[in-house]
Structure 1
Amino acid sequence: MSSFVDRFRRRRPGAAGRGGAVRRGAPSGRGPARTEPVSDAELHDEVAALLARELGVAEPAQENPTPVTPARIAAWMTANEFSYFVDNDGDLGGLWRGRLFYFFLFGEKSEILQVRGQWHREVSIDRLEEVLDICNEWNAERIWPKAYLRVRDNGRVHVVAEVATDLEHGATDEQLSQTLFCGLSTGSMFFDSLDERYPDPAGSAP
């Protein structure tokens, strides 16, 4: 707040130069100028009133952020009636609209939550550059998810969507829910666009 107050003070009409006291001045024609200094407390109240008017009054938080753990992610899956599994490496995953998604925690303190999805179809190596252009176009126009390709040893190409969020200070249940839904929903939007671009013959009647 102090840096904002300093900027606010410098921008106020009648603010003195370096080391000078801030003084109030009345507009021309509205009476004599007031020359008494403005205290820090008064300035703080004015800034608070300005922020409240522009941004609205902040409501007190109902809960404090807590560290994100695999158990919290699993509890969120259960609460939303999503099926999930834990693989042999201990990673948590699940199916969302027929696509496989994993939920990872990276970083020194496991503070980075990553929601990573994989398109349920493979791409021929012959279409590598074509699909790569689609991913680059998506990344240039949208924030989420990050789209990229992985080439397997067998030459098949997998399309991946990823949303990573730094939750160093933890997250409330609501914040965690928004982050997980963001990863799942935006990843699904990208995969839906691929389905439209490359219709699956198995999904059409003969």
Structure 2
Amino acid sequence: MAAQPDEHRPWWRRRRASGDAPEPRMEPSDDELHANVTRLLARELGVAESATEHPRSVTPARIAAWMADNHFSYFVDNDGDLGGLWRGRLFYFFLFGERAEILQIRGQWHREIAIERLEEVLDLCNEWNADRIWPKAYVRVRDNGRVHVVAEVATDLEHGATDAQLSQLLFCGLSTGSMFFDAIDEKYPDPAGSVP
């Protein structure tokens, strides 16, 4: 096989004549790289608008303010936990983690289930969890043998959240929890809610 002339070879395979100094390679400056990345992102994603609000730490006071702004009733229990009723179901709003950066919205179905139905309720929870991201559905068996059905949405907010982000997370926890409880209501209708 005949050797290719240098001008047809890729630059990294070209021979240098002895004594030729290597050609200086110009690296782009940080400003040029930044400008190239900005142009690429603008072309692919569209032009980003400046944020009008920066994320802030989530606190019980911000959650309570959101509840008040949306005309939801809420309370603070003896342990200092913030809770409220949403469509007749009890929900709590917890902040966990070393810096209270994990927001958890935990709802409890408004009725109890007999222990004899535990297996079928666990099956319902597993089906829900297999098909959906939110909420995480599970049960708790109390000391009296009654089963409580729980829905939970947890989000790591290490970098905080804007008011709009916090609102979306709170609505997500409440609405998806309610959807799960509606499914439980369909499976186990309230006997007192039907005409005798």
* TM-score category of the 2 structures, normalised to the smaller one: 0.7 to 0.9
Which piece of structure 1 moves more, 37-46 or 126-135? 37-46
Task: Give the structure with higher Rg (CA).
Answer: 2
Name the SS for the 2:53 alignment partner: coil
Amino acid at match of 1:39: P
Name 1:76's counterpart in structure 2.
66
Quote how far apart the aligned CAs of 1:79 are: 0.3
Q: Give 1:140 deviation, angstroms.
A: 1.1
What's the CA shift for 1:119? 0.4
State the match for 2:154 in structure 1.
Answer: 164
Alignment of 1:1-206 (within 5 A): 39-40=28-29, 41-206=31-196
- Counterpart of 1:114 in 2: which secondary structure? strand
Provide the alpha-carbon RMSD of the alignment: 1.9
Distance 1:44 1:72 in 2: 37
Shift of 1:114: 0.4
CA distance in 2 between counterparts of 1:136 and 1:93 reads 26
TM-score (norm 2): 0.83
Whole-angstrom distance in 2 between the partners of 1:16 and 1:160: 65
TM-score (norm 1): 0.79
User: What whole-Å deviation, never above 9, does each CA across 1:9-60 have from its counterpart, x for those lacking one?
Assistant: xxxxxx987xxxxxxxxxxxxxxxxxx9673544543332222222221111
- Distance, in Å, in 2 between the alignment partners of 1:132 and 1:77 is 32
Deviates more, 1:168-177 or 1:44-53: 44-53
> Cα distance 1:58–1:16, how it changes in 2: closer, same or farther (>3 A)?
farther
Unmatched tracts of structure 1, length 5 or more: 1-14, 18-35
**Unaligned residue ranges in structure 2 (runs of 5+):** 1-9, 13-24
Residue of structure 2 in register with 1:23 after alignment: none
Q: Distance in 2 between matches of 1:70 and 1:16?
A: 62
**In structure 2, distance between residues paired with 1:141 and 1:16:** 54
- Of structures 1 and 2, the one scoring higher in RCO (CA 8 A, sep 6+) is 2
The share of aligned pairs that are identical, in percent, is 79
- Distance in 2, matches of 1:64 and 1:197, equals 44
